[in-house]
Amino acid sequence: MKYITLLGATGSIGSSVLDIILRHPQQYSAYALTANTNAEHMANLCRQFRPKYAVMADTGSAEKLKTLLGYESTWVLSGEDALSEVSCSADVDIVVAAIVGAAGLMPTLSAVRSGKRILLANKEALVMAGALFMDEVYTHSAELLPVDSEHNAMFQCMPANYTVGSRPEGVTQILLTGSGGPFREIPLSDFDQVTPEQAKTHPNWNMGPKISVDSATMMNKGLELIEACRLFDIDDSDVNIVLHKQSIIHSLVAYNDGSVLAQMGNPDMRTPIANALAWPDRIESGVEPLDLIRVSQLNFELADEDRFPCLRLAREAYRQGGTSTAILNAANEVAVENFLAERIKFTEIPVLIEKTLENIDSCVADDLEIIIDADRKARFYVESQLNA
Ligand code: NAD
Ligand code: MG
């Protein structure tokens, strides 16, 4: 039996992970489930999965959960330290990092530092902490496995016995695919009028609100570019972004002998999650088999950086190095929150991020405190621009 801490159990990735646990009750068991504020949802999950611990990041929500659960068998904890504690416990085999945003960094690092198998969905943590994150993975011999569908596809196409973090032998290029989001084809002049509801409606994937907006601005692809460079130790100039509107090929890896390997499947996160949970074995995931005749066509296009300035900003931040990617990520998180709350327009998201990158100095990111400080400064800067 493998015991799992699921960070972000009430989210979209969390639900897919729990679906797979239910399909394999002899192999996987929930040790700890965590969430931010949704006590009702968590109470239902506790009744169904009977974890040893339930952690609510928000203290008031933990109190509510205790009341809802009464004398049931789960211990309720709260706060960021508790998230980190359930991620490093000696009783845990696998930690699924599925909190959205920078809030996931500390508990994910806690799992890394205790040498766990980590299923990484929380790309923001890796983008933010960058080289430091990967150094910790190496130092503590953690087993990092990507769950982001593209990176899981790349991982599946890597050479035999490949270890995440090392440079893959014979690989000349990574082709990072993306659907282009809901606004791939609308006229640029209409971008001003885009509503949160439209931005949250992704054509192929059903995801949480923040990553859905990131997909619409294509910041998601920008973050994924940085994620690929970190995970596979490859130059950003060797990662090409390819628009593929069907979301059937999840990414490709090109080799020096001319081979190009692709991983395909229906767009359902249970495939990459099952792959990473059971790796190197394979387990049933509940995903519908791919019917290529029904799909009938696979199309590919170049990604347009004029249409999607967030792509350019992410690449520039990565090239700048240091704390730039932490600044990029923090500015994006605050901008997206404000767009979702209808306080700014869709087109203001990249403008705010670019201004933040211009105004907050990047410095060497060799210390966690420095990274957290850059994150804080960037958030403060965006808020000050909004209140000006
Ligand atoms: P979501 O919004 O559906 O869920 C987020 C989860 O994080 C919830 O359980 C929430 O309670 C928790 N959370 C939010 N803020 C928190 C805080 N401050 N402290 C502690 N917990 C907090 O998001 P999602 O779509 O499941 O995405 C989760 C992560 O996975 C993101 O980093 C996203 O980029 C990545 N990801 C998601 C998908 C997808 O299909 N949804 C695909 C690839 C990668
Ligand atoms: Mg992805």
What tens digit of pLDDT does each residue of 83-128 get? Answer: 999 999 999 999 999 999 999 999 999 999 999 999 999 999 999 9
293 and 383, same domain (yes or no): no
Strands 301-302 and 239-243, by their bridges, are antiparallel
Q: Which of 112, 146, 180 is the last residue of a domain?
A: 146
191 and 258, same domain (yes or no): yes
pLDDT digits (tens, 9 = 90+) for 289-347: 999 999 999 999 999 888 899 999 999 999 999 999 999 999 999 999 999 999 999 99
186 and 332, same domain (yes or no): no
- pLDDT at residue 253 greater than cutoff 80: yes
Which residue range(s) make up the domain with 64? 2-146
**Pocket mutation for ligand 1, best pick of 5, 6, 10, 13 (most atoms within 8 Å of C-beta):** 13
Single-letter residue type at 129:
A
36 and 108, same domain (yes or no): yes
Q: Which atom of ligand 1 is nearest to the CA of 210?
A: 2
At 97, which CATH number? 3.40.50.720
Helix or strand (DSSP H, E) at 376:
helix 368-387
Question: Cα separation of 206 and 55, whole Å?
Answer: 25
Helix or strand (DSSP H, E) at 314:
helix 309-320
Q: Which residues pair with 4 in a beta bridge?
A: 30, 94
- pLDDT at residue 277 greater than cutoff 80: yes
Question: Cα separation of 10 and 98, whole Å?
Answer: 9
214 and 347, same domain (yes or no): no
Ligand 1 centroid, distance to 103 Cα (angstroms)? 10
19 and 75, same domain (yes or no): yes
Q: Which of 119, 146, 173 is the last residue of a domain?
A: 146
Degrees (nearest 5) of the Cα angle 26, 32, 38? 120
In a domain, 375, yes or no: yes
Ligand 1 centroid, distance to 122 Cα (angstroms)? 7
In a domain, 166, yes or no: yes
Q: Which atom of ligand 1 is nearest to the CA of 8?
A: 9
292 and 334, same domain (yes or no): no
189 and 126, same domain (yes or no): no
At 370, which CATH number? 1.10.1740.10
Residue 304's pLDDT is: 86
Question: Cα separations (Å) of 170 from 159, 167, 180, 225, 252?
Answer: 8, 9, 29, 20, 14
Contact status, residue 3 vs residue 91, Cβ threshold 8 Å:
yes
Strands 2-7 and 260-264, by their bridges, are unpaired
Question: Cα separation of 102 and 210, whole Å?
Answer: 12
In a domain, 277, yes or no: yes
* Alpha carbon distance, N-terminus to C-terminus of the chain: 55
Question: Cα separations (Å) of 188 from 192, 194, 239, 307, 308?
Answer: 8, 11, 26, 7, 10
Burial of 351 (0-12, 13-18, 19+ CB in 10 A): middle
Instruction: HSE, CB side, 13 Å, CA atoms: give it for residue 345.
Output: 9
pLDDT digits (tens, 9 = 90+) for 140-175: 999 999 999 999 999 999 999 999 999 999 999 999
Residue 361's pLDDT is: 96
Q: What is the mean pLDDT of residues 240-245?
A: 97
Question: Cα separation of 76 and 284, whole Å?
Answer: 32
Going by alpha carbons, the residue nearest to atom 36 of ligand 1 is 121
129 and 151, same domain (yes or no): no
How many domains, the chain? 3
Contact status, residue 174 vs residue 240, Cβ threshold 8 Å:
yes
154 and 299, same domain (yes or no): yes
In a domain, 314, yes or no: no
Going by alpha carbons, the residue nearest to atom 31 of ligand 1 is 100
Asked whether the bond before 209 is cis by omega within 30 degrees of 0, the reply is no
pLDDT digits (tens, 9 = 90+) for 52-62: 999 999 999 99
Question: Cα separation of 5 and 18, whole Å?
Answer: 11
Strands 171-178 and 249-255, by their bridges, are antiparallel
Going by alpha carbons, the residue nearest to atom 22 of ligand 1 is 36
In a domain, 311, yes or no: no
Question: Cα separation of 121 and 96, whole Å?
Answer: 7
Q: Which of 103, 120, 146 is the last residue of a domain?
A: 146
Strands 94-97 and 2-7, by their bridges, are parallel
**Token couple for 255:** 């080799």
Ligand 2 centroid, distance to 338 Cα (angstroms)? 23
Ligand 1 centroid, distance to 11 Cα (angstroms)? 5
In a domain, 315, yes or no: no
In a domain, 287, yes or no: yes
152 and 205, same domain (yes or no): yes
Strand ranges for 124-248 from DSSP E: 143-146, 171-178, 239-243
H-state helical runs in 201-246? 209-217, 219-232
In a domain, 67, yes or no: yes
Question: Cα separation of 300 and 185, whole Å?
Answer: 14
DSSP string, 71-111: T-SPEEEESHHHHHHHHH-TT-SEEEE---SGGGHHHHHHH
69 and 141, same domain (yes or no): yes
Task: Kindly report the pTM of this predicted structure.
Answer: 0.98
